[in-house]
């Protein structure tokens, strides 16, 4: 290991607080159960699917998840030889071009599942007692990576009009299966209006004492923020439909140059899964078409569409610093000065009363639902339900140092936009106020919406 790689590894370790081996084993097992649950009902033909630029073959994706875990938790951490000699040539996403993944000599479904099982068995077998910072980091990294790919498999199923997966307790962390509401109140109606957030110096980003942080969250640094107003809730289908019906996609006034170019290339006239019908709209949700629910947040809109709506409505997208300030600021005078909340409602982990995560509700909730999850300023659903575009380009924070997984952030700086807050399929163990997601501004396949500011 070179001096540079030792430095990068030590820098990453600073964010990994030790986790017990038993807890890591539980997380490993649960993450794998979720991944497998999301593809269990797919046919072999669906496991490859059509070649599209915005999705991966599910068969490749599940093999890649296991390969990534083997790379970091067994080969890098333990110095073990590869289980599959051809693994790097099949599953290394940094080396295998996206369009080649349908032409690779991928192992069969049965071989892939056996490989995944072998990786999991070996990882679990080498964990015992109290895991140190290094062990913790290089097991959490592939667990969180698997969480992200599970969400990607979900939106792949949406993109390809596959049925909605039915997850049982073993693959959903003990939460209700999609479609089963349980104790979750799916209603709530609309939630209009703004809150005012006083300006000041805000520490944007993860603090060094955070249990885990990716390199693009590091480290908290001061940002001057002017007083602003931000919507209490994300933009709804009903609100966005007004923009569409007012000719928003036809009026060049609301679109910037890149947005206009995207419009010309795609011919878009409305959100991607909407279908006009007499007197309203239908929306495709997985393989079904349903009447467009007025009070659900608009979803599957890209950054260009969000930006155009804001111009039409006389609003704007919040900046990253504004979004995080509205989500994290602590107003309790009894707390330590400068304390920032881990989640909008406080530091306690998400529950079904505070956030719509983990596939728990089987879909979106109305924007007025879950008042227990409000931020100190009164913003609702800043975690869960729908990812939220913000104004900023995705870039490094001051003093950025790349983590050992070098391909995670740095290659995408400058040409991606930032999303915050997670969505209804995001894993609750993954998300927090400082989490930064990022996609190119034309992407509409992800579960992305937005809230406005002024």
Q: How do residues 108-124 score in pLDDT, each as one tens digit?
A: 999 999 999 999 999 99
| pLDDT computed for residue 185 by the predictor | 56
What's the pLDDT at 181?
Answer: 36
pLDDT for the residue 173 = 39
Q: Is 124 helix (H, G, I), strand (E, B) or coil?
A: helix
Contacting residues for 360 by C-beta, under 8 A, at least 6 apart:
172, 175, 176, 182, 184, 352, 424
How far apart are the C-alpha atoms of 105 and 368, rounded to whole Å? 49
Q: In the predicted model, is pLDDT for residue 203 greater than 80?
A: yes
User: Average pLDDT of 226-239?
Assistant: 98
**252: region left, alpha or beta (phi > 0 left; psi from -120 to 50 alpha):** alpha
- Check whether 338 has a pLDDT greater than 60: yes
- Packed helices 133-159 and 58-69: angle between N→C axes, nearest 10 degrees: 180
Alpha-carbon gap, residue 383 to 70, rounded angstroms:
31
- pLDDT of residue 42 exceeding 80, the answer is yes
CB 141 within 8 A of CB 405: yes
For the cut 70, the answer to whether the pLDDT of residue 443 exceeds it is yes
Tokens of 315: 């609003």
185-454 is classed CATH 3.90.1580.10: yes
Mean pLDDT of 223-248: 98
Q: Are 178 and 362 in contact (CB under 8 A)?
A: yes
- Mean pLDDT over 273-279 rounds to 96
What is the spatial distance between Cα 151 and Cα 34, in angstroms, rounded to a whole number?
10
The mean per-residue pLDDT over the stretch 164-189 comes to 56
Average pLDDT over residues 376-381: 98
Per-residue pLDDT, 429: 96
Quick check: 406 pLDDT over 80?
Answer: yes
List CB contacts of 420: < 8 A, sequence separation 6 or more: 320, 323, 324, 327, 382, 387, 388, 390, 435, 436, 437
Q: Please name the residues in contact with 358: beta carbons below 8 A apart, sequence gap of 6 or more.
A: 172, 173, 175, 425, 426, 427, 428
Nearest to 342 by CA among 373, 385, 297, 387: 373
Dihedral class, residue 47 (left if φ above 0, else alpha if ψ from -120 to 50, else beta): alpha
Q: What residue ranges of the chain are covered by domains with CATH 3.90.1580.10?
A: 185-454
The per-residue pLDDT for 388 is: 99
332: confidence class by pLDDT, cuts 50, 70, 90: confident
The DSSP element (H or E) to which 150 belongs, if any, is helix 133-159
Answer whether residue 269 shows pLDDT above 50: yes
Q: Please state the pTM of the whole predicted model.
A: 0.94
Q: What is the mean pLDDT of residues 93-101?
A: 97
The whole-number average pLDDT for the span 234-243 is 98
Using the predicted structure, report yes or no on whether residue 425 has a pLDDT greater than 80. Answer: yes
Percent of the chain topping pLDDT 90: 87
Whether the pLDDT of residue 166 is over 70: the answer is yes
The pLDDT of residue 50 is above 50: yes
The average pLDDT across 415-427 equals: 98
Q: At 193, is the pLDDT very low, low, confident or very high (cuts 50, 70, 90)?
A: very high
Q: pLDDT grade, residue 282 (50/70/90)?
A: very high
Which fold does the domain 3-171 belong to in CATH?
Answer: 1.20.120
User: Using an 8 Å Cβ cutoff, are 365 and 184 in contact?
Assistant: yes
Average pLDDT, the chain: 93
Report the 3 state secondary structure along 56-121: CCHHHHHHHHHHHHHHHHHHHHHCCCCCCCCHHHHHCCCCCCHHHHHCCCCCCHHHHHHHHHHHHH
| pLDDT reported for residue 3 | 45
Q: What is the mean pLDDT of residues 432-440?
A: 98
Average pLDDT on 242-249 reads 98
Residue 418 corresponds to which tokens in the numbers above?
Answer: 């930032």
Q: How far apart are the first and last CA of the chain?
A: 50
Confidence check: pLDDT of 337 > 70: no
Delimit the CATH 1.20.120.450 region(s) of the chain.
3-171
- The Cα 139–Cα 29 span in angstroms is 12
Q: What does the pLDDT read at residue 129?
A: 80
């Amino acid at each position: 290991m070179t001096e540079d790689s030792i430095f990068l590894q030590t820098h990453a370790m600073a964010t990994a607080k030790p986790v017990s081996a038993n807890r890591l084993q539980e997380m490993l097992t649960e993450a794998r159960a979720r991944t497998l649950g999301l593809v269990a009902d797919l046919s072999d033909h669906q496991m490859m699917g059509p070649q599209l630029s915005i999705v991966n073959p599910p068969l490749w994706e599940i093999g890649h998840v296991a390969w990534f875990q083997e790379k970091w938790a067994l080969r890098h951490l333990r110095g073990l030889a590869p289980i599959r000699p051809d693994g790097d040539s099949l599953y290394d996403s940094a080396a295998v071009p996206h369009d080649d993944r349908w032409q690779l000599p991928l192992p069969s479904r049965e071989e892939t599942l056996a490989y995944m099982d072998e990786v999991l068995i070996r990882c679990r077998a080498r964990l015992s007692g109290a895991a140190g910072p290094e062990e913790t980091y290089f097991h959490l990294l592939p667990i969180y990576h698997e969480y992200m790919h599970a969400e990607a498999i979900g939106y792949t199923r949406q993109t390809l009009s596959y049925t909605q997966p039915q997850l049982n307790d073993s693959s959903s962390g003990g939460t209700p299966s999609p479609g089963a509401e349980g104790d979750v109140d799916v209603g709530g109606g609309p939630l209009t209006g703004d809150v005012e957030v006083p300006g000041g110096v805000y520490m944007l980003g993860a603090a060094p004492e955070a249990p885990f942080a990716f390199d693009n969250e590091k480290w908290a640094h001061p940002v001057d923020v002017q007083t602003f107003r931000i919507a209490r809730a994300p933009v709804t289908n009903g609100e966005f439909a007004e923009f569409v019906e007012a000719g928003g996609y036809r009026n060049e006034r609301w679109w910037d140059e890149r947005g206009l170019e995207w419009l010309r290339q795609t011919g878009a006239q409305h959100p991607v899964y909407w279908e006009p019908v007499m007197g309203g709209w239908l929306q495709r949700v997985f393989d079904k078409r349903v009447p467009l629910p007025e009070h659900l947040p608009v979803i599957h809109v890209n950054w260009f569409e969000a930006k155009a709506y804001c111009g039409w409505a006389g609003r704007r997208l919040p900046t990253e610093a504004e979004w995080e300030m509205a989500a994290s600021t602590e107003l309790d005078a009894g707390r330590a000065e400068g304390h920032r909340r881990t989640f909008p409602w406080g530091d306690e982990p998400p529950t079904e009363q505070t956030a719509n995560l983990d596939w728990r509700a089987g879909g979106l909730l109305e924007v007025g639902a879950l008042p227990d999850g409000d931020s100190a300023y009164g913003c609702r659903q800043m975690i869960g339900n729908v990812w939220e575009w913000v104004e900023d380009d995705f870039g490094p924070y001051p003093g950025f140092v790349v983590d050992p997984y070098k391909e995670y952030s740095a290659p995408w700086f400058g040409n991606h936009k930032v999303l915050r807050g997670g969505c209804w399929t995001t894993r609750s163990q993954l998300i927090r106020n400082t989490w930064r997601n990022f996609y190119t501004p034309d992407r509409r396949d992800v579960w992305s919406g937005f809230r406005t500011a002024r």
